[in-house]
Chains A and B, each alone.
Chain A
Amino acid sequence: DVKVTQSSRYLVKRTGEKVFLECVQDMDHENMFWYRQDPGLGLRLIYFSYDVKMKEKGDIPEGYSVSREKKERFSLILESASTNQTSMYLCASTRGGVNTEAFFGQGTRLTVV
């Protein structure tokens, strides 16, 4: 059974903390994505990666960075968490090519207080 696993389901952090969200996939997929999901705004792409050590900015990269040192793991980093980063964060992965399905993790509900 294919799987994308996010390290935490719920997380509470303080303003100014450095926060790491981890995502691991077991499908040997080339592409991995981080989104945030907010009511009325849908899924907005933060960053994506198409290979180890390769990354591209999505639509809302400000305040975030990413790391992909191994193919199966894609980390989202909030350098200094702020309350406006309180959200649901979703990780996804796809293999390369045009006819490819995205597999999602269960999401991490992050609250910054």
Chain B
Amino acid sequence: GDSVTQMEGPVTLSEEAFLTINCTYTATGYPSLFWYVQYPGEGLQLLLKATKADDKGSNKGFEATYRKETTSFHLEKGSVQVSDSAVYFCALLNYGGATNKLIFGTGTLLAVQP
């Protein structure tokens, strides 16, 4: 079945460091891919998305490119801030006829130190 694998955390970085969180997926067909973020004490919210191969999603300085050849959707940011500390989830949405099945990875905790 469909699945998402993302790098385990926690990831601890100093402010202004470069961030990469790896995400790979297994799916039939052509899923849409997402990154969601969960700040402490809050629910999940969409960070960025890409719906087809070679699309790049971006938001708040974060970017991810949908790579079909490597089945990957790695999250990157050039300079992290303390306020980026959160749990990041990679997800795929596989649209099959009438149903949409939304599958998440295990999440990666990012801690940014001043």
Q: Which residues of A contact B (CB under 8 A)?
A: 31, 33, 35, 40-45, 48, 50-51, 56, 58-59, 90, 92, 94, 96-102, 104-107
Query: How far, in Å, is B64 (CB) from chain A's closest CB?
Result: 15
Which positions 33-77 of chain B face chain A at CB distance < 8 Å? 34, 36, 42-46, 49, 51
- Can you spell out 27 A-B residue pairs with CB atoms less than 8 angstroms apart? A31-B99, A31-B100, A40-B106, A41-B106, A43-B104, A45-B102, A48-B99, A50-B98, A50-B100, A56-B99, A56-B101, A58-B101, A59-B1, A90-B43, A94-B100, A94-B102, A97-B100, A98-B93, A99-B51, A100-B93, A101-B34, A102-B93, A102-B102, A104-B44, A104-B45, A105-B43, A107-B43
Q: Is the CB of A101 within 8 A of B99?
A: no
Chain B residues whose C-beta falls within 8 Å of the C-beta of A56 in the assembled complex: 99, 101
For B, the interface residue count at a CB cutoff of 8 angstroms equals 25
**A43 → B minimal CB distance (Å):** 4
Checking A31, A96, A106 against B43 with a beta-carbon cut-off of 8 angstroms, the contacting residue is A106
State whether the Cβ of B11 lies closer than 8 Å to any Cβ in chain A: no
Other-chain residue from B32, B42, B45 in contact with A99 (beta carbon distance below 8 A):
B32
A residues within 8 A CB of B98?
A: 50-51, 96
Least CB distance from A82 to B in Å reads 23
- In the complex, which residues of chain A have a beta carbon less than 8 angstroms from the beta carbon of B36? 102
Whether A104 contacts B43 in the complex (CB less than 8 A), given A94-B100, A99-B51, comes out as yes
Chain A: which residue is nearest B103 at the CB level? A45
Chain B 14-45: CB-based contact to A (< 8 A → 1; otherwise 0): 00000000000000000010101000001111
Question: A42 and B89 in contact (CB under 8 A), knowing A104-B43, A105-B43?
Answer: yes
Contacts of B42 in A (CB 8 A): 106
**Nearest CB of chain B from residue A49's CB, rounded to whole Å:** 9
Q: Which residue on chain B has the smallest CB distance to residue A44?
A: B104
Question: In the bound complex, what is the Cα–Cα distance between A44 and B106 (angstroms)?
Answer: 8
The answer for the CA separation of A102 and B102 in the assembled complex, in Å, is 9
**Does the CB pair B51–A98 fall under 8 Å?**
yes
Closest A residue to B46 by CB, please name it: A101
